[in-house]
A and B are shown apart, each in its own frame.
Chain A
Amino acid sequence: MKLATITFLFFYSFFSSIYATNERVQEQNTDSLRYYYNLANYPKTSSDLPKAYKFYINLKNENLRKKDTLQAVQNFRQIAIMQNNWGDYYASESSAVEALKLLDNFHLNDSTITEAKLGLYNQVGRISHALLKYDSAIDYFNKGLEVASSQEDINIIINNKALVYRDQGNYKQAELEFTKAYKNSLKLNDSVTTSRVLNNLGLVRSKLNHPMALDNLLEALNIRLKYNDVSGSYSSYKNLSIYYSDRDNNIKALSYANLALTAARKTNQASYMEDALSLILNFYKDENVILYKKLKDSLEIAKQIQENKSALLKYNVEEEQRKYQESELQKEVAQRKTLFAQGLLGFIVLFATFLYFILRSRHKKERLQQVYNTETRISKKVHDEVANDVYQVMTKLPDNSDILDDLEHIYSKTRDISKDNSLIELNSSFEETINELLYTYKNESVGVITKGIKIVNWNALSNIKKVTIYRVLQELMTNMKKHSQASIVAISFSKNKNKIHINYKDNGIGCDLKKQVGLQNVENRIASINATIIFDSEPNKGFNVKIVV
């Protein structure tokens, strides 16, 4: 019974405001919007509401994606209305609150925003009322009053607020509010509002035993009869019946109840008729009727509570699911972000390492090249400046001079130093270069043998490696010539996969490797091209060197 009144009062404000905003929306959108708007608000078949609901949900999501907040708010309001209409109060409240949250971001005093806020506060307050959350309902209506500017809007909200007080049993407060609304409605000269407020005021005053109660109720009825407001007069008759019933005037109460039934019949509204009949039944003292009515009322209340509970449960489950899905989505996004960050980090590390090694290798190459350049430069200097000068002195001396012998010795030594470090012929066949190098160490007392020099692909070697091999062999041969007393040396070359194996072996006196510091130079050169070298010798067992490049 109470719900019916609330719904009636509510629709007035809500539809009028929604319609105003939708006009704006419709200007921008296609005909489909009008079609679905009609489906949502004036459903004709059972599939209309779900269809409209789906449409508005999609539209809302799209507008949210496009960041069109205002449009999304309007969609939310439409959704909330639909949810409210089929009794899903919790979902409706949630939709409306969500829309309010969106509006919180706007601080402009735009009339559209204000209007939307007002409508939403009214909506949420009304739902809270329906869910018997009186305090929060009052709260929302107060917020609505803060943003409301027109007297019509203020009046509607005051009226709604008063209804909450009334249902709460707080008749004094309710009377206060209704009085306010009544005074306002008189100013507006709006007969419908005036009669409605007056009717409500009368009922509350009746409960308070106020002397003006009956006058108020009758005046409301008079206005309604004057303007032929059938559903309004039904409400007036009903309240008058309650008024007399409360004062144990059953005859008058019954007659007003019958009038209410007549008015209800005219409205052709089943709920009104059922309401009126239930009122009439109160006056039949039949035991069964009383029992039936009692049971029906308590069952209805129980049913309503049950429905509310299940709706809350359903809503909570849905809300939990939605939150879970949202958190899952966020988790996934976070995971993806982490993965991306990790990937990026990994890539950077990899790239940096790669760069480091490239630069290091390049630096090493440059350093080797530098060493080689310096060697050849010094060699040329020794050649051009020292050897030539010595030779110049030699040419000035008579042929049989003793000094000439000494000078020639110095000259050849200088020339040897120069030769040890001179530019190596890398452009012509490296095989021949090596061959020539080794050949210079061959003489009457030392035989030099090579094996497999032709099977190595010398062209595939880099110049740095060629120079290193040349210098190492040079060093080994010089060493052999100076210390080994060998009569024969064999250098064998072989290929294994991509590596070149060079094996030096002589039949000399060998040496104690620990005492050999001169070979350090060879080791350094080999290490600089990442090759390996193994020395193997014992006194009187010859000297053996294995190189892998």
Chain B
Amino acid sequence: MFKKVLIADDLGSINQGVISVLTNLNIKKIEQVQYCDDAYLKIKKGVLEDLPFKLLITDLSFKQDHREQTYKSGEDLIAILKKEHPELKIIAYSIDDRLLKVKTLMESYSLNAYVCKGRRGLIELGQAIKSTYENQKYVSPQVSHALSNRVNLEISDYDIKLVKQLSEGLSQEEISNFFKVKDITPNSLSSIEKRLNNLKTQFKANNAIHLVAKVKDLGLI
């Protein structure tokens, strides 16, 4: 397990919950800071003393007060640390559950784990620490689809053409032939059938007629 862990969060009491999680995981050396700049300096100091922190658990949003900060948010801190000390593992622990935020942090900064503060937040944090120790990425279930590529909501031109032919009374077989003539791919009967089934699910349509009606109602064709 990690030997030395740093917690950065501007609310001390939340850290208490985090500390209990860490203690349960048998981690002895735990330090905490309430400012990003402090976290940055502590990590630098650890590297210089040859006793580097192995893990950083940080919030993303820090309240601004009288102390002027070089790194104003957890994101700034993650960006600079991942650049200067790529070997340091970092877990973000935040209220923010916006998918794009999660996606950006995980992909752009190679963040190790993203845990949403919530009712199950501490349990998830424990799992995140374990996964991170095993060099596996972890993301809280409620934002897990941020990493999947199925975020795409866009209906393709192909789908539009398909439904359009359907709306004009063509059977699947006729559509297949029509696509072949127009050189539109895929145009095999099986792939058209598969595609239509997907569309039915996507538009929550019970059958082809229902699908055409819905797509038409939405003004897509």
Contact = CB atoms under 8 A, between A and B. Distances in A.
Interface of A: 380, 383-385, 387-388, 391-392, 394-396, 404, 408, 411, 415, 418-419, 422, 425, 428, 432-433, 435-436, 438-440, 442, 447-451, 453-454, 487-490, 492, 503, 505-507, 542, 544
B204 A487 contact: yes
B218 A391 contact: no
Interface stretch (B31-39, B41-49, B147-155, B176-184): B147-155
A385 B11 CA distance: 10
Given A391-B95, A433-B100, A490 B61 contact: no
A449 B13 contact: no
Nearest to B9: A388
Contacts of B203: 447, 449, 488
A82 B95 CA distance: 109
A425 B108 CA distance: 14
A485 to B, nearest CB: 13
Interface stretch (B50-58, B83-91, B114-122, B167-175): B114-122
10 contacts: A383-B61, A388-B95, A391-B95, A392-B14, A395-B13, A395-B121, A450-B153, A487-B204, A488-B218, A505-B218
Contacts of A394: 119
B14 A449 contact: no
A447 B153 CA distance: 9
Given A391-B117, A450-B155, A487-B204, A439 B99 contact: yes
B98 A419 contact: yes
Contacts of A432: 100, 103
A404 B151 contact: no
B126 to A, nearest CB: 14
B14 A451 contact: no
Contacts of A425: 100-101, 104
Interface of B: 10-11, 13-14, 16-17, 61-63, 95-101, 103-104, 117-119, 121-122, 151-155, 160, 202-204, 214, 217-220
A433 B153 CA distance: 12
Contact of A449 (B99, B100, B118, B155): B155
Task: Rank and list the top 7 A-B pairs by shortest CB-CB distance, nearest first.
Answer: A490-B218, A436-B100, A395-B17, A450-B153, A384-B63, A436-B99, A505-B218
- Listed residue (A425, A488, A503, A544) with the most chain B CB atoms within 10 angstroms of its CB: A488
A507 B61 contact: no
Contacts of B14: 388, 391-392, 395
Most buried by A among B17, B97, B217: B217
A449 B202 contact: yes
Contacts of A451: 154-155, 160, 220
Contacts of B202: 447, 449
Given A387-B95, A432-B100, A450-B155, A507 B218 contact: yes
A456 to B, nearest CB: 12
Contact of A438 (B11, B95, B153): B153
Contacts of B13: 392, 395-396
Contact of A492 (B16, B99, B217, B219): B219
B147 to A, nearest CB: 12
Contact of A439 (B97, B121, B151): B151
Nearest to A489: B218
A388 B214 CA distance: 43
Nearest to B205: A488
Given A435-B151, A450-B153, A507-B214, 7 more contacts: A380-B61, A388-B95, A391-B14, A432-B103, A435-B152, A436-B100, A487-B204
B17 A490 contact: no
Contacts of B154: 435, 449-451, 453-454
A100 to B, nearest CB: 87
A419 B143 CA distance: 15
B116 to A, nearest CB: 10
A440 B143 CA distance: 10
Contacts of B100: 425, 428, 432-433, 436
B218 A448 contact: no
Contacts of A506: 218
Contacts of B118: 391, 408, 411
A440 B214 contact: no
A487 B202 CA distance: 10
A447 B101 contact: no
Contacts of A395: 13-14, 16-17, 121-122
A389 to B, nearest CB: 8
A506 B104 CA distance: 30
Nearest to A389: B11
Contacts of A385: 63
B119 A492 contact: no
Contacts of B152: 435
Given A394-B119, A503-B219, A448 B99 contact: no
A449 B220 contact: yes
B104 A428 contact: yes
A489 B204 CA distance: 11
Contact of A436 (B61, B98, B122): B98
A454 B155 CA distance: 11
Nearest to B16: A395
A433 B101 CA distance: 9
Nearest to A490: B218
A449 B104 CA distance: 23
Contacts of A542: 217
A337 B96 CA distance: 70
B149 to A, nearest CB: 12
Nearest to A418: B95
B61 A384 contact: yes
Nearest to B18: A395
A411 B98 CA distance: 15
A505 B214 CA distance: 11
A439 B11 contact: no
Contacts of B103: 432, 436
Contacts of A419: 97-98
A150 to B, nearest CB: 98
A490 B219 contact: yes
* Interface-central residue, B13, B95, B97, B99, by most chain A CB under 10 Å: B95
Nearest to B101: A425
